[in-house]
Amino acid sequence: MIFNDYNPQEDKILRIIDNEGKIINKELLPDLDDETVIQAYKSMLYARTADEMAVSFQRQGRMYTYPPSMGHEAIHIAGGMIIRNDDWLVPAFRELGFMLAKEVTMKEIFLYYMGYEQGSNFSKANHVLPICIPIASQLLHANGIGFSINYQKKDEVVFGFVGDGGTSEGDFSEALNFAGVWNVPVIFTIQNNQYAISVPVKSQTKSVNLAVKAIAFGIPGIKVDGNDFFAMYVAYKTAFEYARAGKGAVLIEALTYRKSAHTTSDDPTKYRTKEEESEWHKTDPLHRMKKYMENKGIWNENGEVLIEKYKLEIDNQFTEAENFTPYKLDDVFDYMYEDKPDVLKKQKEDYELFQSWKENRK
């Protein structure tokens, strides 16, 4: 059992391929056929391309503040391959690849960052909550969903996400505690990307790592190389089977690096060095996966051509988002309640009177 073999108290880390895609832990290499591995890489490449395009659209002033996911693709795509349609995704806000895997569309992602609430109404995606900006608060919802699953005797599993900074919030500890006591089928992932905006993880905790926090709450914790697709796949698969079997929650610390800024409003040069960045860039998940495929002789495609194809497809979704129905006054009011209070109706009517006054004045 990997949870025993990779005891976080000993600060062990689950890793299967090295930075150049060489297998260093053959015993744990998952038995995936070549086509599946190639598809996983392509999904990572798609997520990376979409993320870079989002940053570029923001820079062009066509979107508002955006939190890039670059560097986190292995975590998202590995989890995305394991999560079923009826399993739940409870995101923080840096899980782009995972959301795409759950059939959230880039159009919806774009709509959100263009400033439409409609971007949280995932029309095709089943069991995906909107992103959650108040740090760590979403993990408690994951427990509630886990409770419902047990109560309704279903066999769904919940994937809840938080960042390294989020582990300092009270809600994080409360969530792990409830998860242990209630024995809920929740897989908590900490995307430890080394920074909470400017604050390094060593300023967040004195713990030897973040996975070890699971121990005190009586649930398994494991530290995984989050830039190693195969390691993440194995960790998720094990956690998924554990949770599905009714054994309870699992905490996965996915060690990664926020390759880009916290958001497009942030400037990482203020608080981290080029040297540190280039050290981490050597661990890039896409590079490692590609090297693995090349070493095995299964990668025969032209990456540039693929990227161009993805760009075209993503660009079409962006155009659809840009041509989305203009925001109306009704959109401010209509979704606050199912049963709209009269006071809201009156506020809207008053505003319409103001609008017609404004029109007549012109």
- Determine the Cα–Cα distance for residues 128 and 121; give it in Å rounded to an integer: 10
262 is catalytic: yes
**Coil, helix or strand for 195?**
strand
What are the residues whose beta carbons fall under 8 Å from the beta carbon of 78, sequence distance 6 or more?
40, 229, 230, 232, 233, 235, 236
- Does 210 interact with another protein (rule: CB under 8 A)? no
Within 164-273, residue ranges assigned H as helices are 170-182, 213-216, 229-244
CA distance 194 to 221: 18
Between 314 and 321, whose beta carbon lies closer to another protein?
A: 321
Contact segment (CB under 8 A) with another protein among 73-81, 110-118, 214-222, 273-281 equals 110-118
User: Per DSSP, what are the bridge partners of residue 323?
Assistant: none
- Contact code string over 87-106 relative to another protein, x by CB under 8 A: --------------------
Distance CA 237, CA 346 (A): 53
Window contacting another protein (CB under 8 A); options: 99-107, 175-183, 199-207, 282-290 = 199-207
Which of 52, 103, 169, 313 forms a contact with another protein (CB under 8 A)?
169
Instruction: From 111, 156, 148, select the one nearest 130 (Cα to Cα).
Output: 111
From candidates 41, 116, 230, 292, binder to another protein by CB under 8 A? 116
Among residues 76, 94, 127, 258, the one annotated as catalytic is 258
Establish if 276 lies at the interface with another protein (CB under 8 A). Answer: no
Report if residue 356 touches another protein, rule: CB under 8 A: no
**Residue 39 near residue 101 (C-beta atoms within 8 A):** no
d(CA 278, CA 295): 23
Interface residue with another protein, options 170, 275, 305, 339 (CB under 8 A): 170
Smallest distance, another protein to C-beta of residue 8, A: 19
Contacting residue, 115, 246, 301, 309, with another protein by CB under 8 A: 115
| Residue 346 to residues 138, 146, 351, Cα–Cα distance (Å) | 34, 40, 9
Please identify which residue in 165, 220, 226, 285 interacts with another protein, judged by CB under 8 A.
Answer: 165
Site pattern 312..331 for another protein (x: CB under 8 A): ---------------x-x-x
Let me know: does 271 contact 288? Beta carbons within 8 Å: no
- Binding test (CB under 8 A) with another protein, winner from 7, 150, 183, 205: 205
**Which residue of 9, 121, 123, 347 would you call a contact of another protein, by CB under 8 A?**
347
CA 255, CA 121: separation in Å to the nearest integer? 30
Among 270, 297, 312, 339, binds another protein (CB under 8 A): 270
Under rule CB under 8 A, residue 60 binds another protein? no
> Catalytic: 271?
yes
3-state SS assignment for residue 269: helix
Q: Are 180 and 143 in contact (CB under 8 A)?
A: no
Active-site annotation holder among 72, 76, 262, 288: 262
**Which residues would be at the binding site for another protein (CB under 8 A)?**
64-65, 112, 114-117, 133-135, 137, 165-166, 168-171, 196-199, 203-205, 265-266, 270-271, 327, 329, 331-333, 336, 341, 343-344, 347-348, 351, 354, 357-358
